[in-house]
């Protein structure tokens, strides 16, 4: 799968862009603050329905405009497809293969975008909620059941929160507590299943990147798992031990929505012992492992969005990364402030200046 072309109108500082791509390596050059990241963000949003930079899509609409339009043609094996997203102040409107829909799930089963930005390096130093969101997005693409279970859990959690805030009786809360227990245990099972599937690929990719022997492990930091739950009934029993405390504080105090995703080197947490360089290579190895797992299960190569990786990697590791990515038929979009560095490797090179994108011919 790859993007054939993209049309952008009124997206951040991009007034109007119309461009055709190579199914291989596409490089977007330009000085900082010209719109390169905005361009990659548009690609990500049209495929996923949300930005990798903000939770409020309305921030993506160009200042002074009422709406933004993104349109793309994609090649799925032998079948072309068209895709469009209209953003306005009240809603996002998606049309896939000529039909309006509110769901991105159909598209995401066919298409996976992996994005690396300078901020990605801090994945295991930032807030647990950000890591949880990252993990949840990865699982949704790998395990089709996860999106439904996660959505159901979120609705039940919201209802439990409302009842606790209102001081509702136990008899009113019990049906939702029972649902919470079943959904909590299923979420934990699916999260563990995904991490177990991902870890062997991640270990191998990290071994290729790091010199020396480092034992990698990844796990969920969960109050429920710490209590040794083995069933939904166990989850319910743990919840019962929190009942009085939740009633005093008027809010839910336990569940998968509070879990953290941790990674360790040789038994110690990465955020405590790994250097910034090691964490950078760890995240790159993670992206490659996600691609390996996606290929293993879906037999498709993802699309890579690499935003200014030249500022995070030395030339040796950057060259190795590009070589690795191109071992499978992956489309790659790479932004760079370094002019001419990738002209030999790239199939197409573009120049971004003040929101205007033009193909660059050396």
CATH of the domain at 344: 3.40.50.300
Does residue 4 lie within any of the structural domains? yes
Q: How far apart are CA 110 and CA 342, in angstroms?
A: 29
Q: How far apart are CA 155 and CA 146, in angstroms?
A: 14
Does residue 263 lie within any of the structural domains? no
Q: How many structural domains does the chain have?
A: 1
Does residue 168 lie within any of the structural domains? no
Does residue 79 lie within any of the structural domains? yes
Q: How far apart are CA 65 and CA 88, in angstroms?
A: 9
Does residue 122 lie within any of the structural domains? no
Q: How far apart are CA 263 and CA 2, in angstroms?
A: 32
User: What's the count of helices (H) and strands (E) in the chain, helices before strands?
Assistant: 10, 15
Does residue 5 lie within any of the structural domains? yes
- Which residues fall within 8 angstroms of residue 254, CB to CB, at 6 or more apart? 223, 224, 238, 239, 242
Does residue 357 lie within any of the structural domains? yes
Parent domain of 48: 1-112+300-362
Give the tokens for residue 294. 């996606």
Tokens 């998968």, residue located: 256
Does residue 117 lie within any of the structural domains? no
How many other C-beta atoms can be found within 10 angstroms of the C-beta atom of residue 12?
21
pLDDT (tens place) for every residue of the chain, 362 residues total: 899 999 999 999 999 999 999 999 999 999 999 999 999 999 999 998 889 899 899 999 999 999 999 999 999 876 788 999 999 999 999 998 888 887 787 777 778 888 988 888 889 988 999 999 999 988 988 888 998 999 999 999 999 999 999 999 999 999 999 999 999 999 999 999 999 999 999 999 998 887 667 899 999 999 999 999 999 999 999 999 999 999 999 999 999 999 999 999 999 999 899 888 888 889 989 989 998 998 898 888 889 999 988 777 777 777 778 888 888 888 999 999 988 888 888 899 999 999 999 998 66
Q: Which of 291, 220, 296 is nearest to 257 (CA)?
A: 220
Q: What distance, in Å, lies between the first and last C-alpha atoms of the chain? A: 28
């Amino acid at each position: 799968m790859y993007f054939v072309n993209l049309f952008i109108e009124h997206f951040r500082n991009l007034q109007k862009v119309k461009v055709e791509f190579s199914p291989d390596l596409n490089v977007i050059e330009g000085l900082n603050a010209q719109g390169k990241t905005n361009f990659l963000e548009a690609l990500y949003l049209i495929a996923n329905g949300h930005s990798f930079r903000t939770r409020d899509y309305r921030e993506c609409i160009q200042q002074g405009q009422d709406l933004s339009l993104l349109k793309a043609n994609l090649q799925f094996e032998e079948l072309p497809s068209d895709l469009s997203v209209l953003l306005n102040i009240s809603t996002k409107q998606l049309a896939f293969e000529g039909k309006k829909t509110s769901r991105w799930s159909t598209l995401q089963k066919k298409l996976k975008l992996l994005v690396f930005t300078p901020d990605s390096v801090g994945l295991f130093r930032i807030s647990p909620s950000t890591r949880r969101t990252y993990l949840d997005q990865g699982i949704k693409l790998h395990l089709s059941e996860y999106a439904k279970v996660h959505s159901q859990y979120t609705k039940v959690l919201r209802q439990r929160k409302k009842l606790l805030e209102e001081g509702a009786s136990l008899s009113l809360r019990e049906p939702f507590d029972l649902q919470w227990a079943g959904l909590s245990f299923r979420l934990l099972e699916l999260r563990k299943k995904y991490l177990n599937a991902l870890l062997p690929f991640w270990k191998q990719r990290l071994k290729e990147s790091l010199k020396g022997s480092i034992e990698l492990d990844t796990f969920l930091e969960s109050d429920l798992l710490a209590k040794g739950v083995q069933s939904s009934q166990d989850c319910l029993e743990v919840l019962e031990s929190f009942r009085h405390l939740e009633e005093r504080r008027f809010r839910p105090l336990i569940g998968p929505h509070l879990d953290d995703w941790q990674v360790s080197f040789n038994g110690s947490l990465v955020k405590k012992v790994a250097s910034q360089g090691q964490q950078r290579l760890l995240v790159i190895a993670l992206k490659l492992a996600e691609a390996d797992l996606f290929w293993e299960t879906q037999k498709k190569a993802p699309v890579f969005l690499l935003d200014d990786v030249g500022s995070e990697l030395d030339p040796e590791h950057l060259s190795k990364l590009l070589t690795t990515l191109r071992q499978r038929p992956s489309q790659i979009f790479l932004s760079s402030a370094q002019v001419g560095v990738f002209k030999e490797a790239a199939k197409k090179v573009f120049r971004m200046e003040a929101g205007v994108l033009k193909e660059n011919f050396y």
